Structure 1
Amino acid sequence: MRLRLPLFVLTATLLPAAAGEVRFGKNVRVGGHDFSNQTFDNKHRAKIYLYSQKPRKEGCVWRSDGHAGRVKVCHLQRK
């Protein structure tokens, strides 16, 4: 009985993360910026960096992630 719990914990930590999808609905804001009606999954991801002052490269751009996917990289100022 004592062996089951550590074996379960070990198995759970070695399993890959579950594939998921995030769909933003109406009126979704990140740091005061509109991200409504966008979908992100394992092929289309997002990295959002929020700054208290104006960032050097402000805005969003799609980039390749090197694994046949795309990443939306956003450098945004908090509103």
Structure 2
Amino acid sequence: MKSRRFVAVGILFAGFALGLVVLTATLAPAAAGEVRLGKNVRIGGHDFSNQTYDSKHRARIYLYNGKPRKEGCVWRKDGHGGHVKVCHLQRR
């Protein structure tokens, strides 16, 4: 009788632990990362060499087949204490 209770408690604990691991993995924020672009990096034919982006300094690059209305790159605040480099570029 005691062994059945022990097995039932063990299964219940294992199920709870597995559920806790799955819940933690689902709700955990993405790991902070950093992207370092090295030599000769081109995006859409434009040079983006030796630039670093992370959670505080990000980039949004929009590529157009035709000429964009606001051509070029501008640094803007993102409202969360960081900056975003917004680029509207024509493909080459």
Match of 1:9 in 2: 22
Select the structure of larger CA radius of gyration.
2
Match of 2:51 in 1: 38
Q: TM-score, normalised by structure 2?
A: 0.77
Deviations 1:10-58 (A, max 9, x none): 3212101111110000000111100000000111000000111110000
CA–CA distance in 2 between the matches of 1:69 and 1:7?
Answer: 33
- % identity of equivalent residues: 77
Match of 1:68 in 2: 81
The letter for the 2-side match of 1:51 is Y
Bigger Cα displacement from structure 2, 69-78 vs 7-16: 7-16
The SS at the match of 1:20 is coil
CA–CA distance in 2 between the matches of 1:38 and 1:13?
Answer: 31
Count residues in correspondence: 78
4+ long deviations beyond 6 Å: none
- Higher relative contact order at CA 8 Å, sep ≥6: structure 1 or structure 2? 1
The alpha-carbon deviation at position 9 of structure 1 amounts to: 3.3
